[in-house]
Chains A and B, each alone.
Chain A
Amino acid sequence: MARVIAGRAIVSGAAEGDALVSGEPLSFWGGFDFQTGTIIDRHHPLVGVRASGLVLAVPFSKGSSTTTAVLLEAVRAGTAPAAIVTTGPDSFFALASIVAETMYGRSFPVVALDATDFASLRTGDRLRIERDGTIYSSGEEHPG
């Protein structure tokens, strides 16, 4: 774990997983199949990729209000990402984690990064997220 990235914990939690990164925002409703954990939005570069157990990095949620409910279903079904990293506090992702904790005693960390740090993430980097939002990355320093 070579690199330390200072993130802001929007929903605190510890998680570790490989990064799955896109600069394109994502709607989970119409964009994520909670039964398989796969991204299904045909307009999105990550279409066809399974996000379960990975640290999903997208700048923000777009589209449907039902994104939160799809993520809640994913937590219940065990197909949710291990954590979600964004460029700003995203209320849709945060709420899913908060309600999942209330309903099922399971949550996932949601961490906001500044734009430069976000742009330095690469798919496949091994990320370890600490409760305070600090991210330890195996990835090299990439120019943002």
Chain B
Amino acid sequence: MQLSERDERMLAGDHGPAAKLAMSILVRMADVYGADSLMDVSQAHIDSTIYLGDATLEFAERLASLGARVVVPTSLNVSGVDECGWTKWAVPADWAAKAARQMLAYEKMGAVPTWTCAPYQTAMRPSFGQQIAWGESNAIAFANSVIGARTERYPDLLDICCAITGRVPAIGLHLTENRAGEYLIRLSGVSDALQRDDQFFAVLGHLVGKLAEDRIPVVEGVTARPHEDHLKAFAAAAASSGRVALFHIVGITPEAPTRDAAFQSRAPVRVVDVTTEDLRAARAELTTAEGRDLDMVILGSPHFSLEEFRRLAPLVEGRRAHRRVRFLVTSSRFMKEQADAAGALGPVLAFGADVTLDTCILASPMLPPDIRTLMTNSAKYAYYAPSLLNTRVTFGSLADCVASAVEGRVVRDEASEALWRE
């Protein structure tokens, strides 16, 4: 492998012990990836912020104690604790203290404390064609697919090495020729009305994640015009049920103005037709609860955006969540401020909702054990919560989540249900 002079100096320790450590890990990984050389990135997003236990903390503090500094603008993913709000929840004090230490370690490295899994909805959103090193599966898929920025699917612990060195292996999704579609997934007889249902893109993402295996999927036949948060839901779902780091939707995403462009004029390796029946089955998989019991409505994986607060506000305006049901929105400090300034936060709080920042229910042990049944509009929450939290989940639209919270048990809009039955 060909290293630049600067790479060699870093590896030799001329840029300090932290850069030496980061470069030594990066060089070994470049070999795993089969890279001939390293290349520059101009931004990073660090998923290693998630506190799991002593190892994640020791890794962060080792780097920080060696004087690590990021050399490109770097945003930070969720942490293991809502730094200012954790005492309202079941988070053990020892966990909170260690998670906060891990946060501090990454802040010391000069990263921007964004504390969000939706960095693409902050001021640090990258641009089309920008070379970046991002961790966090949903953010990787969104940045590549919806923005057209370029990142490989980076794991925790490597993302920070890229940020400290400003370098990545010159491989994979950084290179144009590796961004071509491989599997063609065609919507077959899926009505426009169903496509405009609020749950549609999350369900489609869940299904595409499974169908895509380890390939780049191209979805054809989308007639609806999804808003950004629908594409965010698609990306998060596909990166949970599968390993999707880049997808194309013909006529929607920037590298897919046409099917031919999405495939870079190559032929699909495989063609799969998706019917309404397939989508109905995929949607059913996301609901693991039986019956209509409801302990909590949970929104915001990935973190709730300003636009999502704006859509939620009129739904909850003048209403009140049932006294037995907790209603929680997970978001970032930045987005909460934006929502407040836009007048969209007040109605949500008046409804009886809590807003948790910096983290989420999957990354922080915050839920008390009496919360057994959840309802969400997030396919990512629906996918992971049963395994991670031992809870049962009902998946539904944003409006159904609100209606159910008011009612105190799961209710569904009949007109939307009819679309899924057709």
Contacts and interface: CB of A to CB of B under 8 A. Distances in A.
A66 B117 CA distance: 12
A43 B152 CA distance: 26
Interface residues of A, number: 40
A59 B137 CA distance: 18
B387 A91 contact: no
B382 to A, nearest CB: 11
Interface string B204-217: 00000100011000
Nearest to A27: B240
A69 B52 contact: yes
B387 A72 contact: no
A66 B50 contact: yes
A30 B32 contact: no
A36 interface: no
B153 A65 contact: yes
Interface stretch (A92-100, A118-126, A134-142): A92-100
A66 B156 contact: yes
B106 to A, nearest CB: 13
Contact of A91 (B24, B33, B209): B33
A72 B32 contact: no
Contacts of B209: 62
B264 interface: no
B153 A30 contact: no
B47 interface: yes
Contacts of A72: 55-56, 59, 157
Contacts of B285: 43
B25 A99 contact: yes
Residue among A10, A11, A67, A99 facing the most chain B CB atoms (10 A cut-off): A99
B400 interface: no
Nearest to A74: B55
A65 B32 contact: no
A62 B159 CA distance: 17
B156 A41 contact: no
Nearest to B384: A30
Interface string B36-61: 00000000000110101111101100
A69 B243 contact: no
B34 interface: yes
B239 interface: yes
Contacts of B52: 34, 66, 69-70, 73
Interface in B2-43: 21, 24-25, 28-29, 32-34
Given A31-B387, A34-B53, A95 B58 contact: no
A70 B388 CA distance: 13
A68 interface: yes
A77 B53 CA distance: 10
Nearest to B245: A65
Nearest to B21: A102
A134 to B, nearest CB: 19
A107 B56 CA distance: 16
Interface in B358-395: 362, 383-384, 386-388
B137 A65 contact: yes
A98 B242 CA distance: 24
B62 interface: yes
A10 to B, nearest CB: 6
B262 interface: no
A65 B47 contact: yes
Given A30-B362, A61-B243, A69-B156, A98 B28 contact: yes
A89 B34 contact: yes
B354 to A, nearest CB: 23
Contacts of A64: 137, 240
Interface in B46-97: 47-48, 50, 52-56, 58-59, 62
Contact of B243 (A43, A62, A98, A102): A62
Contacts of B25: 95, 98-99, 102
A103 interface: yes
A61 B34 CA distance: 18
Contacts of A50: none
A60 interface: yes
B52 to A, nearest CB: 5
Interface in A1-43: 10-11, 25, 27, 30-31, 34, 40-43
B146 interface: no
Contacts of B157: 68-69, 72, 95-96, 99
For B25, B32, B213, the residue with the greatest tally of chain A CB atoms inside 10 Å of its CB is: B32
A91 B25 CA distance: 12
Contacts of B223: none
Which 6 A-B pairs rank lowest in CB-CB distance, beginning with the nearest?
A68-B155, A62-B243, A69-B156, A30-B384, A76-B55, A65-B135
5 contacts: A63-B241, A64-B137, A64-B240, A68-B158, A89-B33
Interface of B: 21, 24-25, 28-29, 32-34, 47-48, 50, 52-56, 58-59, 62, 135-137, 140, 152-159, 209, 213-214, 239-243, 285, 288, 362, 383-384, 386-388
Given A25-B242, A40-B388, 12 more contacts: A43-B383, A65-B159, A66-B52, A66-B155, A68-B156, A69-B56, A73-B54, A89-B34, A94-B32, A99-B59, A99-B157, A102-B25
